[in-house]
Amino acid sequence: MNLTEDQVSSAILDSHARRVGMELVERSGDATVDAQRLMHLDAVVLSHDGGADPVFVYANRAAAELWRIPVAELVGMPSRYSAPPEHRDARASMLADAATSGVLVGYSGERIAKDGSRFVIENATLWTVDDYPDRPGQAVVFRDWRQIT
């Protein structure tokens, strides 16, 4: 997928407004300003493409801090690696449910950081991002999580 950061951010923000019915950040009308607002949001935001083995195409600073990995390394990583191996089937099922409905609110699930530490995300909203080339992707936002190891 060959989109700029501004284009990816706009796709995430536009689809969130359509699917969830509210803005994720206060929009300025300037794609670069809006991309910066999303990058510095106090909630975790991640998005993957719609490939057979989806890869992250977006991660904000809060996501990079939680997964203990630089944004540049998180983007491009297969998104399945965000969950421990024993929780990947449940994650895949949840993603399929969200793809069918277009949005899933209140999701919780165990995840694993680069250093092996584990945490549970809670009250996450997952939605379809329609504006990616080739096929829709998905994005998630959440503010609630708890460390478990």
Q: What is the pLDDT of residues 38-65, one digit of tens each?
A: 999 999 999 999 988 999 999 999 999 9
Question: What span, in angstroms and rounded, lies between the C-alpha atoms of 112 and 131?
Answer: 28
b/e per residue, 7-43, with b = 16+ CB within 10 A?
Answer: bbbbbbbbbbeebbeeebbeeeeebeebbbbbbebeb
> What are φ and ψ of residue 91, in 5° steps?
-60, -45
CATH number at residue 36: 3.30.450.20
Residue 69's pLDDT band, with cuts at 50, 70 and 90, is very high
Residue 74 has pLDDT above 90, yes or no: yes
Question: What span, in angstroms and rounded, lies between the C-alpha atoms of 80 and 90?
Answer: 11
How many domains would you assign to the chain? 1
Question: What is the pTM for the complete model shown?
Answer: 0.94
Q: Which tokens is 54 given?
A: 């989806």
For residue 25, give the nearest of 147, 149, 139 by alpha carbon. Answer: 139
For residue 62, give the nearest of 144, 147, 2 by alpha carbon. Answer: 144
3-state secondary structure of 88: helix
Domain around 27 = 5-147
Q: Is the dihedral of CA 96, 102, 130, 20 positive or negative?
A: negative
H-type alpha helices, the chain: 5-20, 31-39, 61-67, 71-74, 88-101
Give per-residue pLDDT as tens, 97-122: 888 888 999 999 999 999 999 999 99
